[in-house]
Amino acid sequence: MSQAKTLTPAELEQVLGYIAGRSFALRNKALLLTGFWSGMRVGEIASLRVADVVNTDGSIRAEIRLSAEQTKGRHPRTVFLPEKLRLQLQQYMAARGATRPEHPLFVTAGRRAFSANVLTQHFFWLFKRAGIAGASSHTMRRSFITNLAAKGIGVRVLASLAGHRSIAVTQKYIDVNDDMKRNAVELI
């Protein structure tokens, strides 16, 4: 089985353009960018509650502390949110309206929490309908790691951000492309 596709900037814009013209555009954009800009697994995103992401004053946290129950390896970890993702989540929460801390952060059209499986299917169909072949729910995570690697972030930092206990696992996520190789040789 091949690995999930990593998105180019143009493909990300293509998916965002598709989302913009559909129902639940703000939620779907926030879902996509949460995966793309935080590197969280789909199960971790599905498990998020309002209190995990939103401070009591309504602002978005700069760091999310995932409990062992929320992670794949059952090891708690901290996820760092870049400013651009915090702004996106702030817009989403403002449009969504007041919710209780224990409510799921992202909800289906039926106002229920996404399960990891339902969210996986949601991303599969989102990419397929946007015309991105080979993309899956793991695309955002691979893109996150690959994009940071292309910017020179070391594999130990990448492993920590991804919640990997082994850098060998992280290295499998990095999709080397011609632009990365061109940039590398220019450093000579």
Q: How many domains does the chain have?
A: 1
Q: Give the Cα separation of 2 and 123 in Å (integer).
A: 17
pLDDT tens string 59-103: 999 999 999 999 988 899 999 999 999 999 999 999 998 789 999
Name the residue range of residue 65's domain.
9-140
- Domain presence at residue 58: yes
**CB within 8 A of 103, min separation 6: which ones?**
49, 50
Contact assessment for residue 81 and residue 38, using Cβ atoms and an 8 Å cutoff: yes
Predicted local distance difference test score (pLDDT) of residue 73 = 84
- CATH number of the domain at 136, please: 1.10.443.10
Read off φ and ψ for residue 137, nearest 5 degrees: -65, -20
Predicted local distance difference test score (pLDDT) of residue 166 = 83
- Domain presence at residue 129: yes
Q: Give the Cα separation of 170 and 153 in Å (integer).
A: 12
- Domain presence at residue 115: yes
- Tokens, residue 40: 């969280």
Q: Give the Cα separation of 132 and 48 in Å (integer).
A: 26
- Domain presence at residue 153: no
Q: Give the Cα separation of 181 and 60 in Å (integer).
A: 37
- The one-digit pLDDT tens for each residue of the chain (188 residues) are 468 899 999 999 999 999 999 999 999 999 999 999 999 999 999 999 999 999 999 999 999 999 999 998 889 999 999 999 999 999 999 999 878 999 999 999 999 999 999 999 999 999 999 999 999 999 999 999 988 988 888 889 888 888 888 888 878 878 777 777 888 788 88
Predicted local distance difference test score (pLDDT) of residue 17 = 97
- Domain presence at residue 101: yes
DSSP state letter for 72? T
Predicted local distance difference test score (pLDDT) of residue 16 = 98
Predicted local distance difference test score (pLDDT) of residue 177 = 77
Predicted local distance difference test score (pLDDT) of residue 97 = 82
- Domain presence at residue 59: yes
Within 10 angstroms of residue 91's Cβ, the number of other Cβ atoms is 14
- Domain presence at residue 160: no
- Domain presence at residue 18: yes
